[in-house]
Structure 1
Amino acid sequence: MSDMKSLDKKVILVTGAGGGIGRSIAIEAARAGAAVVVNDLGATLDGRNESSASAQAVVSEIEKLGGRAVANGDDVSEPEGAKAMVKQATDAFGRLDAVVNNAGILRDCFFHKMTYENFDAVLKVHLYGTFNVSHAAAVVMREQGTGSMIHMTSTSGLVGNFAQANYSSAKLGVAALSKSLALDLQRWNIRSNCIAPFAWSRMTSSIKVDSPEQEERVNRMREMKPEKIAPVALYLASDEAADTTGQIFAVRNNEIFLMSQPRPVRSVHRDEGWDIDSVARHAIPSLKASYIPLDVSADVFSWDPV
């Protein structure tokens, strides 16, 4: 470890940090000088069978590096669980400078086969979990007059994907929530940003392979390591990012993208107003050239990562 550390004296809470992207962020945060609350419910990919062993294993790794960390096994989908993990951060380390809302589950299924339970469960962890942890953290950060919130979104929500109505809804909701947090909390110097990560992890390992094209896509994803996400996340947690808020980044191997956010792309006007016929004959033909294609994420990010 170097003497100059970009996150010295910072305290960071990382949810879903028992493996994959969260684990990498937690370990690299410790390397950069931060004290880390390693949260993980220890659940299986679909959110069942809980155990805190994975969080404790990451804490042990950090301590072997000479870093400071504590394990937390609370549930982000429960408001009281979120409050408990934030309290653990302040009890153990005296403050809370950043949260990384990374915890997630998957229950992929085509929409016409999706149950209410599977829609609800995914929204509860991703969207409600992001709300719960951010809401609890905001109390501490407002008192401090500073803080950073980093949320994991996905191109499944920003662009689209098959068989992920629950996950896509949650992840696009996270992006909208992040913008609201950035607007509402800026007076206390609290920042809020999103990252859409491309990385091979426990979550992406569940992608169904039912064609040569899918197999090729999955093989490309295997090359994208979760460690590649940490530098952007930890930059956003640092003081260097003081003027960055309300943004959406994507990270794919060695590529970093700034993602667009919805804005008008084309308009039509009619002095006398519109009726069904004029909409059909004039408005839609004028607007149709700018329609957004029915793409999925792989169509938009169609080139091999570098």
Structure 2
Amino acid sequence: MSNTIPGTIKMTGPVKLPGGGALDLSGKPLVMAIVNCTEDSFYPGSHNAGPEAAVERALVAAEAGADIIDFGGESTRPGAAYVSEEEEQRRLIPVIRAFRRQKQTPISVDTRKEPVARAALEAGANLINDISALEDDPALGPRCAEWGAPVVLMHKKGIPTDMQDQPYYEDVVGEVRSYLAAAVARALAVGIPPEHIILDPGIGFGKRREDNLALLTRLDEIRALGYPVLIGLSRKTIIGDLTGREVSQRLAGTLAANALCLMKGARIIRVHDVPEAVDLVKVLSAIGPYPAG
């Protein structure tokens, strides 16, 4: 098995972002704060009743040390229903504009729709976090390339409505790795440069307990593709399965799992609990070094 694919890179410095600023994936790992502009996330503690509450949560996260704010206007929890692009924009755009007027922290938008991404970038967003890895909307990749916006390419099996209905893999790590390699090729083909690509194995997206554990244990095989890896496991079912805790009590388990992923070379952790995640990165940075990549 080849360790890299055409176009792969090693991060050597900050990547310029559309609208100004930069994202540096070559130094310490980054903390991405989850800010839901919805009221149907799987974690009630992240619900925001209205745009003012979402803006305030984002400002608090930025003050706590978040490196990226990830706004989402469509829940992608198991069983979640599709949201129209009009409704998604209604939830997101005022929040992005209001936050951007007060902070210059890089903004990621969790969307799989080109019209939403375009409106978000125009409002001040800097990167796109696409759970469909540019599959759901063929226009999204070219739009990211046009704007010079980095993109997170995530693996999922099925769609949020049915993705946890008996998912099955022969070799989950090999299948996820192959899918992400194809996603990278898709991104490169529409003009997204290698340094703008981030990979996410999609913990909990169409995966059983054993699948999630295999991906976390063998994260080096995803890293071997040669691109920065983002891990999003904050308070998810896999943490509950391992600890027996309800979602409101999964912080310690989340921190333990994120620590493992950082030590295995993940470059971004996507979290609900920013102060604790920032402290985690500080402690590991002092102990370091991290694996290169």
Pair in the same fold by TM > 0.5: no
Larger of the two Rg values belongs to structure:
1
Q: Which of the pair has the greater relative contact order for Cα pairs under 8 Å at 6+ separation? A: 2
Give the TM-score normalised by structure 1: 0.40
Give the TM-score normalised by structure 2: 0.41
- Larger helix percent: 1
